[in-house]
Amino acid sequence: MLANGLSLSRICLAPVVVYGLYRDGQGVGPITLVLMLVAGVTDLLDGWVARRLGQTSRLGRVLDPLADKLFIGSVCVGLVVLRAFPFWLLLLQAIRDMAILGAGSYLLRSRQIVVPASLWGKVATWAMALTMLAHALGMPWSFLLQGVTALLIVVSGAGYVRQLHKILKT
């Protein structure tokens, strides 16, 4: 399936981008920048391709958000270590993602339910990606994005808690 291949490619791009950040020093080289943008495009395309080509699957509903979490998490750790990205924002993202993965794993094993990604979750993921890119590029307004991203992570986390509560009540 093409859609799952796009998600897998995002997972494979994560260590390459982190290595690029390391190799580029304090700047972001053109190859690293292009690879970061390609990862973003694969995130946009995988769901669209799955729906358009009728390739939606249970695996894809798990693989796409997992690819997002692995890519964002890996590159974010690289930015914390290599570029002084705020650790607190990585920690907030990691706590939310671990809670989602834990609850999702439990529901998949116990009830065979795949919890779909929420709109707020997708917005928070894209906000984090934009914040990371702005930080990596040394944009002076990246600190504003950090606050907005933190708020979106909390809002999306609360939405997942509400969604989980509804599922567990049934």
CATH number of 2-169: 1.20.120.1760
Per-residue pLDDT of 62-72, as tens digits, reads 899 899 999 99
Rg (C-alpha) for the chain, rounded Å, is 16
Rounded Cα distance, 123 and 148, in Å: 11
Q: Residue length, the chain? A: 170
Which pLDDT does position 114 carry in this prediction?
Answer: 83
pLDDT number for residue 26: 79
Rounded to an integer, what distance in angstroms lies between the CA atom of residue 161 and that of residue 92? 15
Rounded distance between C-alpha atoms, residue 23 and residue 25, angstroms:
6
pLDDT tens for the chain, 170 residues long, are: 899 999 999 999 999 999 999 999 878 899 999 999 999 999 999 989 999 999 888 888 889 989 999 999 999 999 999 999 999 999 999 999 999 989 988 998 898 888 888 899 999 999 999 999 999 999 999 999 999 999 999 999 999 999 988 888 87
- 111-142 residues labelled b (16+ CB within 10 A) or e (exposed): eeebbebbebbbebbbbbbbbbbbbbeeeeeb
Q: What is the pLDDT of residue 111?
A: 87
Dump pLDDT digits (tens) for 36-64.
999 999 999 998 999 999 988 888 888 99
Confidence (pLDDT) at 168: 86
Longest alpha-carbon distance in the chain: 52
**Tokens describing residue 40:** 């973003």
Q: Rounded distance, CA 45 to CA 124, Å? A: 18
Identify the burial level of 164 via C-beta atoms within 10 angstroms of its C-beta, where 0-12 means exposed, 13-18 middle and 19 or more buried.
middle
**pLDDT number for residue 104:** 87
Tell me what percent of the residues of the chain surpass a pLDDT of 70.
100
The pLDDT, as a whole number, for residue 55 is 87
